[in-house]
Structure 1
Amino acid sequence: MKTAEIKLTVTLDDNNVPENIMWESTDSQSKEALPVKSFMLALWDQSYKNTLRIDLWTKDMPVDEMKRFFYETLQTMGDSFLRATGEKNIVEDLRDYCAHFADKMEIKQ
């Protein structure tokens, strides 16, 4: 059995606002931690049947990049949902919403 590890390191300012986020993985091509501006982590708690979440972004992440990050996250959630469930119809609806979101947020697709 193989084990992989993902590590997130968050540097906080005096007000506990993220200044830097670094991530690394034992399966990554890169052997050093890489900087990122934001992450969303969602975990399913089987016992309580709910989602545990951590959403963090650095204080210097531009708003236009945050909009793009949300757009791409919604798109990839659709990909994951389709692979997990095979529910093509609802994923098409989500894709339609993503196009609407991109339009409203003025994100170039």
Structure 2
Amino acid sequence: MKKAEIKLIVELDDNNVPERITWESTDSANKEALPVNAFMLSLWDHHYKNALKIDLWTKEMPVDEMKRFFYETLQTMGDTFLRATGEKNIVEDLRDYCAHFADKMEITR
């Protein structure tokens, strides 16, 4: 069985606020840690039937990029949900909401 490891490194200031986040993967062609300004990690706990989440962003993450990050995340969640379930109708509803979100947040698509 093949194994891969994804590593997130979070550097914190004295108040435990993320200053720098990097990530790396054993499957990546790039062998050095890559910087990011935010991440959202969701894991499914089968035993308790709920999601475990870690959402972090650096203090340098601009608000306009956070809005875009949420928009992109919602869009890709729709892609994932469609591949996992085949539920086209609800994904179309999610796409409609994403368009509404983008309009409200003044995000150019």
TM-score class, shorter: over 0.9
CA deviation string 1:36-72 (max 9, x = no partner):
0000000000000000000000001000000000000
Q: What residue is the counterpart of 2:25 in the other structure?
A: 25
State yes or no: 1:48 paired with 2:48.
Answer: yes
Q: What residue is the counterpart of 1:67 in the other structure?
A: 67
State yes or no: 1:89 paired with 2:56.
Answer: no
Aligned residues: 109
- Secondary structure of the corresponding residue to residue 52 of structure 2: strand
Q: What residue is the counterpart of 1:79 in the other structure?
A: 79
Per the TM alignment, residue 19 of structure 1 is displaced from its structure 2 partner at its CA by 0.1
Give the aligned residue type for 1:52.
Answer: L
Please report the TM-score for the alignment, with normalisation by the length of structure 2. 0.99
Find the aligned partners of 2:29 and 2:106 in 1 and give their Cα distance.
34
Find the aligned partners of 1:69 and 1:87 in 2 and give their Cα distance.
24
Q: Provide the aligned C-alpha RMSD in A.
A: 0.3
Find the aligned partners of 1:62 and 1:108 in 2 and give their Cα distance.
16
Please report the TM-score for the alignment, with normalisation by the length of structure 1. 0.99
Give the aligned residue type for 1:82.
Answer: L
Q: What residue is the counterpart of 1:37 in the other structure?
A: 37
Per the TM alignment, residue 29 of structure 1 is displaced from its structure 2 partner at its CA by 1.5
